[in-house]
Amino acid sequence: MSDKFSTEVRSRIMSRIKGRNTKPELKVRSFLHRAGLRFRLHKKGLPGKPDIVLPKYKTVIFVQGCFWHQHPGCKHSGIPLSNISYWKPKLNRTIERDKKNQEKLSHSGWHVTVLWECEITEGSLLKLVEEVKRADEETAE
């Protein structure tokens, strides 16, 4: 099946997709800041340049889009029917890259948290803040 958009239109659509400062990421950052947690953004020296880095808590947070990172079981994570030979390998490479980066971070002593776009709620963010603070208390003991 071919793409329903022309190459020029598809290119324009894809060029508008942001990799940083997305709405889900801004929502998480705002919540963390209101909870009194201070963080760094997209730290270059760390594998995968995590979206949010909480150095004090040795914690990194990846805010991942369900489609781009293929959230297992999510209705938003399907592979497009047009140009499957392009999309399937591309999305599989993203999954593998994410896995490798998260393993490297874990082996380096970082607590890795993945927040999926479809699961960002007030409750999930409260739970995240509690986990970060609890991990800090356990480290201090």
pTM: 0.86
The span from the CA of 12 to the CA of 86, in Å, is 18
Write the single-letter amino acid at 38. R
The one-digit pLDDT tens for each residue of the chain (141 residues) are: 566 777 787 677 667 776 778 999 999 999 999 999 999 999 999 999 999 999 999 999 999 999 999 999 999 998 888 888 989 999 999 999 999 999 999 999 999 999 999 999 999 999 999 999 887 676 665
DSSP-derived letter for residue 126 is: H
The span from the CA of 97 to the CA of 19, in Å, is 15
